[in-house]
Amino acid sequence: MTEKKLLPQHVAVIMDGNGRWAQKNKVSRLSGHNAGMLAMKEIIKKADIMGIKYLTVYAFSTENWKRSAEEVGGIFGLLVKYVASELAELNENNVKVSVLGDWRAVPGAAADSIEKALKTTANNDGLRFNIALNYGSRQEITRAVRKISSLVSEGCMMPDEISEETISRFLYTGEENEYIPDPDLIIRTSGEERISNFLLWQCAYSELAFTDSLWPDFTPDEFESIVEEYTGRSRRFGGR
């Protein structure tokens, strides 16, 4: 296993391909999402074992509301199921759950489950597991700009005091979540090679990795292999 000092501190994952996996295996889309949830469970365990400090998964975007009511309801039902079955183990393993996005706008039972997970794991200091839920990066940046503009209009901040750090502070990864660092590595499954409105500000210098594996087929071994490949890259952050 790679030395921990060489590991990415923060890995973010765009979990793509549940629907295509379902089609490929001739099962319902909800069965595909359920298989994806099981894959996510194993990746969380692997990241924790490897010593990665932050793992962020793109669970439900602001654009996903365009899907059928049946599929959306099923996804949030699976979230409730996941918290009910896994929260005790997450807490026992010292995992801290955080949410990026407007999670209070999701259906009641799902929001209640999220709130329970946040409260139960609030004092844990192991792996930080961030769920991007009802999340869109453009919406996140717009929200930050509105908060900053309110401070300016109230005379609490001058326009020339606004810096990159100011904007970062008001993102979901900012002070309300105790400053989650920018992702070192973003992985996208299913063969698609795009960011899809995910952590646009934070990914300025992230390394990207793409795999043809559909998310339910994405294994802990493949996750480790991609992380191993990352450790051999040279990150110059614009320098030589």
Active site residue 16: yes
Q: What is the pLDDT of residue 239?
A: 63
- Kindly provide the residue ranges of all beta strands, DSSP E only, lying in the chain, ordered along the sequence: 10-14, 54-61, 96-100, 128-135, 185-188, 207-210
- Other C-beta atoms closer than 10 Å to the C-beta of 84 total 11
pLDDT of 240 strictly over 70: no
Q: Which among 25, 64, 93, 177 is annotated as catalytic? A: 64
Q: What is the DSSP string of 18-85?
A: HHHHHHHTT--HHHHHHHHHHHHHHHHHHHHHHT-SEEEEEEEEGGGGGS-HHHHHHHHHHHHHHHHH
**Domains located in the chain, CATH noted:** 4-135+182-226 (3.40.1180.10)
Q: What is the pLDDT of residue 234?
A: 80
Q: What is the pLDDT of residue 3?
A: 61
Closest C-alpha to 175, from 186, 162, 165, 160: 165
How far apart (Å, rounded) are the C-alpha atoms in residues 33 and 236?
37
What pLDDT digit, counting tens, does each position of 77-129 carry?
Answer: 999 999 999 999 999 999 999 999 999 999 999 999 999 999 999 999 999 99
107 touches 73 (CB < 8 A): yes
Confidence of residue 187 (pLDDT cuts 50, 70, 90): very high
Full-model pTM: 0.95
How far apart (Å, rounded) are the C-alpha atoms in residues 194 and 184?
16
- Name 165's Cβ contacts closer than 8 Å, sequence gap at least 6: none
What pLDDT digit, counting tens, does each position of 17-64 carry?
Answer: 999 999 999 999 999 999 999 999 999 999 999 999 999 999 999 999
Q: What is the pLDDT of residue 1?
A: 54
pLDDT of 238 strictly over 80: no
